[in-house]
Chain A
Amino acid sequence: MLGYILKRVVSLLVTFIVVSLIIFSLMRVIPGGPFDEDKMPLSPAAKAKIMAQYGLDKPPAIQYLRYMASALRFDFGIPYQSPGETVVQLLGRAWPPSLILGGLGMLIGTPLGMLLGIMAALRRNRPIDYFASGLSTLGMTVPVYVISLMLMLVFGVWLKWLPTSGWGTPVNWILPVTAYAVTPLAIFARYTRSAVLDTLNKPFVTVLYAKGLPFRLILFKHILRNAAIPMITVFFPVLIGITTGSIFVEQMFRVPGLGSYFVTSIQKRDYPLEMALILLLTLMVGVAYIITDLAYYFLNPRTRVKGTE
């Protein structure tokens, strides 16, 4: 079993290294940097000095190794667009908004989605079921910035109930959090519904019912536990959805979080920031992948106990 974890971690490390190599080479190979003549006219001497300062004058392989070495020490250099601080400091600033909004979105969307899914499963083919299915399809297929836009239009422009941008007070949070919450709500609603339906149809539930157990007890003690297992595997796509969604939500609602910095770092060719962001995101997603893998492995007694051979 330990071997299994080890295999996964090694796999993640390999992925990590491959990704860093790809991105590093992409950025170095494609022409166009922040110090091009048209963006920032400098005299050759000044340019050489700046290149040396950022280590851009050494051969690419050396640059890569130096970078990875310092990355391990959490030193990601200095962002081009904000030379007064280190990348780490900038990220430290950018982190909270994304975490708060995304986290709240997940915290609200997940239980709501699960509730919706359970109710839809229990009252199959009744209005609530169609509503839930429709909502989840909507939430899964419509892009998050479209949802954000509709929210902004309806609540910000037409009804004028809520502000549509800014980051200051919790009131500003309502719309972005709602936009974030749609994805987990939709995904969990669908999966909960099908998981509960599957379990409901299993013969052991009929047995419990015949034994005379009250339905509520069956629901909580047996059905939900069985249905919980496949839902762990859904956690991962939800996380990815929120991560990528942050790019758009933050752009639309003008939130200074990781997502919007990602976009600006690319547009401005801010290599240090870009690299750091992508590496951290990959790491985060990779770890989530391993955790869900392990969680599923542990929670499912069928994979744990090997049985007679």
Chain B
Amino acid sequence: MAASPTVRSPLYYAWKRFLGNKASLVAGVFILLLAFAALCAPLITPASYEAQSFLNDALAFPSPTHWFGVDNVGRDLYSRIIYGTRVSLGIGLVSALASLLIGVPLGAIAGYSGGVADWIVLRLVELFSVIPPLLLAILAASLLGGGILNIILISSAFGWVGVARLVRGQVMTVRTKEYVQASRGMGALPRHLIMRHLVPNSVSPIIVGFVLAIPQAMMLEASLSFLGVGINPPTPSWGQMIADGLYYLFFYWHLPLFPTLFLALTVMATSIFGDGLRDALDPTLKGK
């Protein structure tokens, strides 16, 4: 009996599957570039996002000096867009993280305990699903005022639902698996079952939930900013820039065009990346 040459954990196969998905790879690279841009913003932009240094050139079209042109109050559009990357990605990441912190425990408890706890969590999830989240978010945002912190709060308040649903489903599946029963038969306490079996086998939905919550949060922020109840000026937010630029649509269409382009591409990229990740980690999660 020859020994096998290399040991392959299940995650290795997931990685292989992911690499085969070209769209996700491209999306991933794009996101990496964006993240890089966000981090190095001051190094790659000629001006700060609020410096109204180019009033003489206000509303200028893209040119070699101003790659994306100048906005209506003399700010370099390219700089604003790059700094806007920070806002979008930052809010997306933090909100997704917060959604995880709320959603994973709730989903795990609901899936594991069943009964009353499960019923309560399910009712909450249903509540948040029947009411269009955007409507409530708009209401909440207008009442709380804008600002980064409030937006993150609101995003997490709606983001945890997706994560909780995924985690709950997985925990319920794993809980009935025979290896969990076997551990119980050996005398394992719930704490051991959760830490040694339920959590490690739920890693996929947790990762997927996290990655898919990012575009959701970004979209929410952009929508709220677009309506004027999101990020407050002068902090640049693509949604807000679109709204402002809308006024100049007819003659200075570069104003709304670039934020629109970036928003669309970023949301698409994160979504495709998230889908690819989900397909790689657990193809059975598709459609949930």
Interface, chain A (partner B; CB < 8 A)? 11-12, 15, 18-19, 23, 26-27, 30, 32, 137-138, 140-143, 145-146, 149-150, 152-153, 156-158, 164, 194, 240, 243-244, 247-248, 251-252, 262-263, 266-267, 274, 278, 281-282, 285-286, 289
Contacts and interface: CB of A to CB of B under 8 A. Distances in A.
A26 B132 contact: no
3 closest Cβ pairs, A-B complex: A141-B271, A30-B143, A244-B134
Interface in B199-250: 215, 219, 222-223, 226-229, 242, 246, 249-250
Given A248-B223, A262-B135, A142 B267 contact: yes
Given A141-B272, A285-B132, 13 more contacts: A32-B143, A141-B215, A141-B271, A142-B267, A156-B249, A157-B253, A243-B132, A244-B132, A244-B135, A247-B227, A252-B246, A266-B139, A289-B130
Contacts, number: 102
Contact of B242 (A32, A145, A244, A278): A145
A286 B130 contact: yes
B218 to A, nearest CB: 10
Interface stretch (B1-9, B60-68, B96-104, B255-263): B255-263
B140 interface: yes
B7 to A, nearest CB: 35
Contacts of B287: 194
B126 interface: yes
Given A243-B132, A278-B139, A146 B260 contact: yes
A266 B246 CA distance: 21
Contacts of A281: 131-132, 135
B131 A164 contact: no
B32 interface: no
Interface of A, secondary structure class, is: helix
B211 to A, nearest CB: 14
Contacts of A30: 143-144
Contacts of A156: 249-250
A27 B143 contact: yes
A12 B127 CA distance: 9
Nearest to A147: B264
Given A15-B127, A278-B139, A146 B132 contact: no
B181 interface: no
A48 B143 CA distance: 24
B142 interface: yes
Contacts of A157: 249-250, 253
B29 interface: no
Contacts of A149: 242, 246, 249, 256-257, 260
Contacts of A11: 126
27 contacts: A11-B126, A19-B127, A23-B139, A26-B139, A27-B143, A137-B271, A137-B272, A141-B264, A142-B264, A146-B242, A146-B260, A149-B246, A149-B260, A152-B249, A153-B257, A156-B249, A157-B250, A164-B249, A244-B135, A263-B138, A266-B139, A278-B135, A281-B131, A281-B132, A281-B135, A285-B130, A285-B132
Contacts of A286: 130
